[in-house]
Amino acid sequence: MNIFYGRTWAEVNLDVLRDNIEIIRGLAGKKEIAAVVKANAYGHGDVFCARTLNKCGITRFTVSNLWEAQRLFDNGISGKILIFGYCRIEEIFDNLDKNFIFTVGDVDYAEKVSEEALKRSEKVPVHIKIDTGMSRVGITTEEQLDEILSMKGLDCEAAYTHFAVADSLEASDIEFTEAQQRKILSLCRKKGLKFHSQNSGGIIYHKDFEGDFVRAGIIMYGQKPDPRFPVPDGIKPVMSVKSIVSQLKTIHAGDTVSYGRTFKADKDVKLALIPCGYADGFNRRLSGQWNVLIRGKQAPVCGRICMDQTLVDVSEIPDVQTGDVVTVYSDEIDGGSSFTAAAEKIGTINYELLCAVGTRVPRIYIENGVPTELDRYL
């Protein structure tokens, strides 16, 4: 399969995804793995990743909303799909014939769902969200939990919580995470209720926590939950973003580059034009402070990254030619060209940059060492 598409693409290595899930399986022990594939599998492509995970024996998935769940279902993904986010009452009952599990995170909402279910002589499969310290979605007291558990229209398979700082090894954060775990453990074990609390940080840094499931998110895609702390040996990044050199030109001392004229040449500079910009996920805040890789050498970004294009200095790469492959993001090369390193430079997190890889960027899936599938959104 020819992977050259004349513009910008993402390479998603499904072999690496398989390897990562096996490492996570070892960390999870007897707990079942729920694969987090919300936000298009953190930009990697939800359907293709979920298909691979199905082949690895994963039959439990989590998503953010009903549309994401529907997309998996429509594409033949098998197993249960937990929807973290809010669903309208009518949407729930339009989809009870599917393998979806809905989240209830407050008593009033749960009561409305249960009442409607009883009117229809139905039962709605739910997980109860318990707020143990995020101050986000979820009930907070045992009384609220009892009230929801007593609702006849709900089939409560489990409860869950979300850790705020499980990815941190700072002493105060460890203490906070342990307190969150104690709260959900106390509530659920007392009721004989299954529960899950471990996200990626919890899987890595608190692997001995009790629970019935673990939720593997960013670690499954080979990225660090927190750049300060290590991940297990063997965990590798799944995705890289690449482009091409579409044009070469030389500018002279005094010439300026791109919007705002923020780069001014003090000598002759050979520029390469890359058809990749912030609409593709090449974050504009990296303007003037990021290097791409061409022919194994670093090429600094010159001036502002545009919506569709970026200019880089290739003066030190004498053999560069149009059509050369450009590595924009990848953890496989030296020099820190990774989603994590880029995120640190601009004061954000790798999650944001992964999710921002644009819908017009085709995903090329690598399996058994060769490109096998292409997924285009536009």
Residue 278 in contact with residue 286, Cβ under 8 Å?
Answer: no
- Is 259 among the catalytic positions? yes
**Residue with the two structure tokens 């492959």:** 325
Tokens coding 362: 């085709």
CA 145 to chain centre: 30
Neighbours of 47 (CB within 10 A): 18
% helix, strand, coil for the chain, step of 5: 30, 25, 45
Residues 6 or more apart whose Cβ sits within 8 Å of residue 170? none
**Residue with the two structure tokens 């009870």:** 96
Tokens coding 200: 């990626």
Q: How far apart are CA 290 and CA 130, in angstroms?
A: 41
- Is 38 among the catalytic positions? yes
Residue 363 in contact with residue 281, Cβ under 8 Å?
Answer: no
Residue 7 in contact with residue 273, Cβ under 8 Å?
Answer: no
Tokens coding 20: 């990562």
Residues 6 or more apart whose Cβ sits within 8 Å of residue 33? 21, 24, 25, 58, 60, 213, 214, 216
38, 129, 236, 242: the catalytic one is 38
119, 152, 249, 259: the catalytic one is 259
Cite the active site residues: 38, 259
